[in-house]
Amino acid sequence: MNASEIRQKYLDFQSSKGHRVIAPAPLVLENDPTTLFTGSGMQPLLRYLLGEPHPDGTRLTDSQPCLRLQDIEDVGDPRHTTVFEMLGNWSLGDYFKKEQIENYFEFLTKIIGLDPNKIFVTCFIGSEKYGIPKDIEAAEIWQSVFKKAGIDAKIAEIDTAENGDKRGIKDGERIFFYNDKENWWSRGGGIETTPIGDPCGPDSEVFYDFGEDKQDVEKYGKSHPASDGARFMEIGNQVFMQYRRNEDGTFSELEHKNVDFGGGLERLAAAQMGSFDVFKTSLMQPIIKKLEQLSGKSYDNNTDEMRIICDHLRGAYLLAAQGLAPSNKAQGYALRRLIRRAILKALDLGIAQDFLKETISTIESEYKSLPDSILTNRDHALEILEKEEKVFRKTLNKGLKELKRMASRRGEKSPSSGDPDKSARPQALEAKLSGYDVFTLQDTYGFPMEISVEEAYKEGIKLSKDWKQEFDAALQEQRERSKTASKGMFKGGLEDHGEQTTKYHTATHLLLAALQKHVSSDICQKGSNITADRMRFDFNCDHKLSPEELKQVEDQVNEWIKADLPVAFAEYDKEYAKNVLKAHGQFWDKYPEKLKVYTVGNENSPVSREVCGGPHVEHTGVLGQFKIQKEESSSAGVRRIKAVLE
């Protein structure tokens, strides 16, 4: 049975049980700013789960493409994917636990033929704190269902998954009670983090057992359904959505009790074929085979790379087919990241030529069943991806040139002109490439850290001893700067900052220095956010800035711009930077022992001296006209300035 057949059988089966098949929603939901992408089948149905009548009745079913970028780092193992199809069925105040459990068991064992002996389940242990009872009802329904299949299913109580790893499974145990980390479902995860106003409830998860020989006790402890490792795989989650979270944190019963079932098609297909590896299913194999052919390497010896490429290309195709274009913002950035990560992994396999089009075209047919109302841009998807591939290959070439330039420049320029005390940084002088350089390559040129390290090795370019710490410090700085903009949204990874953001970055240093000079010397940076179009800067200050103060600050920045001051950096010992140079810094306790300091103006009496990973312009003259657009309160004792460079 291939995955398409399983999808069809599921929808037919649910139809036979009175469910109406509804069209899946797009991956980018128009009216839901809480996530970038549709991450579960219930998400588009939220308002109906909260009580609004659905035009198609009280029993619904669909197959919903989902994208969960939060899982991106886990991709590479046999079962995690960022993109997946979630088979779903819902009861909106209609049937409840008994009918759901019986139906799903019937589907698994009778319709797609899974062996009932290989099915294990979990239920919620209850929460005393919130007055939510242990789900004995669900456990007893499971017992009777197993009994009809001739299985005496015993119940085990494991409060936390960690306990379970020591305890394992005892004779005949098949139904496991866990706490809210495992068996409570809300869009926020566990019970404490359930969002206010959201529907939620205890859940009962279903697992497929691939056999005791798949457990790796040394690595994961003893297996039990919710443990890590290859033995058990979750193949369905039945949420008994009977609560809603109140403003005061408590939970009230919903007037109508709902069932929200979701099961990953990829995983069901894998269980059905007896493979613990979802990348062996018909949904993935065409891509894997193509990668084997292009690289001349086998999947079995290159699983991690091929899984990542396969996963990311499926996601990239779905997004492009829905009309999304790669960009540096939100969903477009996620698409860009998927494509670029896939290209980099392919390089690891030795695939250096353009390969997206021919690889992705192998799975176009898998998505035939998705309606045109979602895949509105199906016909142009491959073109979009191909274009981005070409752009990224150019970026890679440019980054490589820049890396070599940096290394040779550092080789000649020793000691650097911006360093008043050579003895403060003997180690950094020996290295040709520092972690800050590696960060600049990634941040400004989109040239990934891994590639820099690899290229440096190949070219015999020496990296500084603490390069990783330096890199992390620069990354940390940058994350702090972009925190406000990306709060609650996907962030991290490769970013492309063009010239414009580099200019704003330097302007930020000038603005801080001007505030310190004209408003108060105690002013520190409290946050910063830069896009290609504007800058936002938060700082401590006990009063609203007067129009005169604002004018002085603005004029000061423009004066420094006009003076075309040099911008230089050098690496120092932390101690020296802090106490001797008195450089401005926000995270002294987090910085590594060696750090990078940017100076604007004359070395001996600079206008600004800050710890910073860069990048910056080389002369302030290129910044243009600095204009403050707004000054406002950000939070208690913190003011915010919005400004542009014109």
Query: CA 291 from chain center: how many Å?
Result: 25
Q: Which residue has the tokens 């899984």?
A: 307
Give me the least distance between CB of 146 and ligand SER, in Å please: 22
Smallest gap, in angstroms, from Cβ of residue 7 to ligand SER?
Answer: 16
The distance of closest approach from Cβ of residue 66 to ligand SER in the complex, given in angstroms and rounded to an integer, is: 8
Cβ-based nearer residue to ligand SER, 260 or 554 = 260
Give the CB-side neighbour count of residue 55, counting CA atoms within 13 A.
2
Relative to beta strand 20-21, strand 59-67 is parallel
**262 or 286: CB nearest ligand SER:** 262
Residue 271 or 581 having the CB closest to ligand SER: 271
Q: What does the block give as tokens for 306?
A: 């091929």
**β-pair type (638-645, 626-635):** antiparallel
Q: How many CA atoms lie within 13 Å of 360's alpha carbon, on the beta-carbon side?
A: 30
User: Which of 41/446 has CB closer to ligand SER?
Assistant: 41
Number of C-beta neighbours around residue 534 at 10 A: 16
- Give CA–CA dist 259/97, Å, rounded: 7
| Closest distance to ligand SER from the beta carbon of 104 (Å) | 12
CB closest to ligand SER, residue no = 262
Q: How distant, in Å, are the alpha carbons of 475, 498, 515, 565, 616 from that of 600?
A: 21, 21, 15, 6, 10
- Least gap, CB of 258 to ligand SER (angstroms): 11
Q: Which is nearer to ligand SER, 37 or 185 (CB)?
A: 185
Q: How far is the CB of 231 from ligand SER (least distance, A)?
A: 21
Residue 254: CB minimum distance to ligand SER, A: 15
Calpha distance 138→101 (Å, rounded): 8
| Torsions phi, psi for 11 (to 5 deg) | -65, -40
Residue 7 CB neighbours (<10 A): 18
Shortest Å distance, C-beta 85 to ligand SER: 12
Which tokens hold the place of 226?
Answer: 């919710």
Q: Which is nearer to ligand SER, 184 or 439 (CB)?
A: 184
Rounded CA-CA distance 461/438 in Å is 12
DSSP secondary structure string for all residues of 387-447: HHHHHHHHHHHHHHHHHHHHHHHHHHS-S-TT-S-GGG-HHHHH-SB-HHHHHHHHHHH--
DSSP string, 338-383: HHHHHHHHHHHTT--S--HHHHHGGGGGGGTTS-TTT-TTGGGHHH
User: Could you tell me which residues come within 8 angstroms of residue 403 by beta carbon, excluding any fewer than 6 positions away?
Assistant: 433, 437, 441, 447, 452, 455, 456, 461
Nearer to ligand SER, 239 or 268 (CB): 239
Q: Which is nearer to ligand SER, 38 or 215 (CB)?
A: 38
* The residue to which tokens 């409570």 are assigned: 184
Smallest gap from Cβ 238 to ligand SER, in A, equals 7
Rounded to the nearest 5 degrees, what angle is found at the Cα of 507, between the Cα atoms of 611 and 619?
85
Shortest distance in whole angstroms from residue 330 CB to ligand SER? 22
3-state SS, residue 117:
helix
Judged by CB, which is closer to ligand SER: 261, or 299?
A: 261
Q: Cis omega (within 30 of 0) on the bond before 415?
A: yes
Nearer to ligand SER, 199 or 435 (CB): 199
Instruction: Name every residue whose Cβ is closer than 8 Å to that of residue 408 and which is 6 or more positions away in sequence.
Output: 432
Tell how strand 232-245 and strand 251-264 pair up: antiparallel
Q: Which C-beta is closer to ligand SER: that of 40 or that of 558?
A: 40
Q: Which residues of the chain form contacts with ligand SER (CB under 6 A)?
A: 40-42, 88, 185, 237, 239, 260-262
Minimum distance from CB of 321 to ligand SER (Å)?
A: 23
CB of 228 to ligand SER, least distance (A): 18
Measured from the CB atom, the residue of 182 and 538 that comes closer to ligand SER is 182
Give the rounded distance of the alpha carbon of 555 from its chain centre. 41
Nearest distance in Å: CB 23, ligand SER: 17
Pick 262 or 585: Cβ nearer ligand SER: 262
